[in-house]
Every structure is written in structure tokens, then in C-alpha cells.
Amino acid sequence: MAVINWLLDAGPTVFLPLLLFIFGLVLRIKPGKAFKAALMVGIGFTGLNLIIGLLTDNLGPAAQAMVKNFGLSLNAIDVGWPAASAISYGTTLGSLAIPIGVALNVFLLVIGLTKTLDVDLWNYWHIAFSGSLVYAATNNFGLGLFTMIVHAMWIYFLADLAAPTIQKHYGLEGISFPQGASAPGFVLALPINWLLDRIPGIRDIHWTPETIQKKLGVFGDSAVMGLIIGIVIGALAQYDLTKMLNLGITTSAVLILMPRMVAILMEGLSPISEAANTMVQKKFPGRNLYIGMDSALAVGQEAVLSASLILVPVSLLIAVILPGNRVLPFGDLATIPFMLAVMAAVFGGNVFRIVVGGVIDLAVSLYIASWIAPLLTAAAKSAHFAMNGATSISVLSDGGAWTTLLIVGMGKLMSWGGMAIVFAIVLGLMIWLNKFKKSDKSVSE
């Protein structure tokens, strides 16, 4: 536990490169090459965190200003994923998420029920999140542990299912995204894409950053689009001209710098991914191995970022007009690209469809996040999380995922019986995908 707590305190930018360096040595990569690869991954994640922080620090105050200007009164505050992860790992139950997730991942790899080797240990907070919520609802520690196992299985299944689509769209060979906030979007995007394909007129709309730039000229350039979107958000926040321009430059910088950071990260990850696949082919002929990584690898794509920035003010509008919604989007406004990363692959980078899918996803997420608000508030108090005067908190990303509704809902309503049903479903799906469905062809096709 002391080692685990040290890793958590160090954060993913430290322990992920450390883990990848050790993993590289195990894969018999030369120490110098393994060290350089791990260091580049750390540099890439550091850059991504800086840019996401830049976006958060500027979007957060703008969102608060918009809320104040329009007189919104939603009583559950979206505290964002950083706070949610701190709450999740801060409970006794949540502190066990990493060893449980790693042991389960290795076991499922050995018996052939997953192809994903999840090296993104930090994101096991997602299963700590659901386990802590079920524990808060039932006061049953054993059920909370079982919840984390079931949730991890769902994440591995969804990562395996979406991997071919992700690899094809983003060009990320051998990569999957076992991240609780983004992986569920794959299943949600499939029926939306199917429906849009069957609506005359709508099915022919295809916006990509390239086609937008071609039609709009300089105004379609990603840097200029970021500037315009930032200025519009600033105007809605009733900023003065200087602050509007500053926000515009910031959003423009994010659109340009994010892909650069992802490229640096991939530069370090590529040799490790290649060595892992080589090892698997030797040890398990005919089996493919996916390296499970954070969906931060995809958020730098222009289509994802452009659609996400459009959805920032839209999310606030949706929160106001949805009857029964209690959650005020705030902390996770900068997390919208992560929520859309896998969905965007299904939509083939079509900005129009990403925005449409994002609107539906946000509406669903707000309702689910409203439902879990009392449970997350209770878990926060159990973890001695500083509420800073808030009486009710929620989180838009993980708190709004349909997997949270399914897993936590069944655990709360039916206890062990409900969780056993969810376990049986995901076990059956994993057997189908890994034992009977032989092709790695994209499901979205």
C-alpha cells in the first residue's frame, strides 16, 4: 500500500514512464532505448497536462461567468475528474483498485478473455469510482470490491471492441483505450451513426477540419477557428475585449499544441508497443495484443477538439433546458474531448456527427450525473474531501457514463444479485468477442 500511495502521489507523468521503462526492459529493449522511450512518454503527458490545464484554467472562469450572467441555479456542482479521482482513491476501498485491476488484467490476458494489456494504471480510478459509489449506497465492502472487478471487465471488453476502429481512424497501431470516461462512448455512437446514415440530407453532411478549411478559407483553419470559438465563449461570458482576445488565443493555442504533444507521446510509445506485439507473437502465435493507454492520445485530433469547443457553451444550454437535471457542468468542461474521443472514431472524424453525438451524450450524462450526485457526495464525505461549501457534487464524465448507471444502478437496486447479472453479461460478451469473433474488423463498419 505504501508503494501504491507513492505512485498515486507521484501522478501518471512520473509512474507511467517508470512503469513503461521497466516494461521495456522486460520486453528486452536495450536499456538506453527503453529509457528514452519512457522519458518521451513522460514529456508527452506533461505537455498534455499543461495544455489541458491551460484550457481548464481559462474555460472554468468563463463558464462561471456564463452561469452568473444567465442566472442559472443548478444545485449539484460538476467537480470534474481530478476531484472525482481524488475522492475515489481516497477511500479505503478505492485504494485497492490498482492491485485488483492489474491482477484481473493479467488473469484475463492469460486465459484469453482480453487483448488489452492496460499499462495506464492511473485510470484504474474509474473502477475505484464505481466501487466507492456502490459501497456508499449499500455499505457492503465485499460488494464494492466485486463492483470494481465487474467494472474493470466492462472497460477491457469495450477497449477490445473499439480497438480496431480506433486504430484505423487515428492510426494508432496496437493501441486500445481502456478508459472509463471514453470507452463507453463507442457503444453510444454506434446507433447514433446508424440512424444518421438513414436520414436523407443529414447522411450527406460531412464536415472535417479539411473540408471546413477548404470552404471557409482562412476562417476554416484550426488556429483561426480556435480563436473565433474562444472569442464567442468570451462574449457569452461578457468579458471585455482584452479578456475575450486572451481566451481566443488560448483556445487557438490548444488546437495547435495538443496534436504536437500527442506526437511526442507516440514517439516514446511506439518502440514499446512494437516490442510487446513481437513478444506476444512469439509466446502466443496468432494472438494480437493491444497496449491500453489513456485516450489523451486521441484528443489532439482537430475534429475532436473543434467539436468539443463548440460543445462547451452548448453543454451549459443543455443543462438549463433539460427538465429534471440538477448538475451544473463546470469541472469537466475541459474533459469533453475525452468523452468524445472514441465516439469520433465511429463517426469517422465528421465534425457534424461528433457535435450531434456529443449533444446526445451530454444530455444522457447530465441525467445520470444527477442521479449519482447523492452517492458521490456521500463518498466524498467518507474520503474527507473538501467540499468548499458545496452541499451536493457530481462529475459529468464518469458520473454520466452509461456503464455507471448500469453497474452502480444494479448494485444499488439488487445488491449481489444485480451485480451477478452484470458480471454474467460482460463475461458472455468477452467470451463472444475473444473466443468466437475471430476478425479484428471494425465493429463500426
Q: Which of 397, 407, 398, 421 is nearest to 134 (CA)?
A: 407
Q: What is the pLDDT of residue 193?
A: 97
Residue ranges per structural domain of the chain: 1-435
pLDDT of 308: 86
Contact 170, 301 (CB under 8 A): yes
- pLDDT at position 431 is 96
pLDDT of residue 59: 72
Name, in order, each residue with C-beta under 8 angstroms of 259's C-beta and a sequence gap of 6 or more. Answer: 300, 301, 302
List the grid coordinates of 175.
493501441
Sheet holding 393-394, edge to edge: 327-328, 76-78, 393-394
Q: Which residues contact 282 (CB under 8 A, 6 or more apart)?
A: none
3-state class of 366 per DSSP?
Answer: helix
Q: d(Cα 210, Cα 18) in Å, to the nearest integer?
A: 38
| Residues 6+ away with beta carbon under 8 Å from 22 | none
Q: How far is CA 118 from the centre of its chain?
A: 14
Q: pLDDT tens for residues 251-272? A: 888 878 877 887 787 788 778 7
> What is the pLDDT tens value at each position of the chain, 445 positions in all?
666 666 666 666 777 788 778 878 888 889 999 999 889 888 887 887 788 778 768 877 887 787 777 766 677 888 888 778 878 877 778 878 888 998 999 899 989 999 998 887 778 889 999 999 999 889 999 999 999 999 999 999 999 999 999 999 999 888 999 999 999 999 999 999 999 999 999 999 998 877 776 776 766 677 887 888 889 888 888 999 999 999 999 988 887 887 788 778 778 877 877 787 777 677 777 778 898 988 988 887 888 988 888 888 888 889 888 998 999 887 787 788 899 999 999 999 999 999 999 999 999 999 999 999 999 988 888 777 766 666 788 999 899 999 999 999 999 989 999 999 999 999 999 999 998 876 566 666 6
Q: What grid cell was written down for 289?
A: 495484443
Q: Which three cell numbers stand for residue 227?
A: 480563436
Torsional class of 324: left (φ above 0), alpha (ψ -120 to 50), beta (otherwise): left
Residue type, 163: A
pLDDT at 439: 59
Q: How far apart are CA 424 and CA 374, in angstroms?
A: 28
Buried b (16+ CB within 10 A) or exposed e, 353-381: bbbbbbbebbbebbbbbbbbbbbbbebbe
Q: Is 292 helix (H, G, I), strand (E, B) or coil?
A: strand
pLDDT at 54: 80
Instruction: Return phi, psi of residue 217, to 5°.
Output: 70, -135
Closest CA to 69 of 237, 275, 224: 237
pLDDT tens figures, 192-203: 999 999 999 999
**Residue 140 burial (10 A CB sphere; 0-12, 13-18, 19+):** middle
3-state class percentages of the chain: helix first, strand second, coil last, to nearest 5: 75, 5, 20
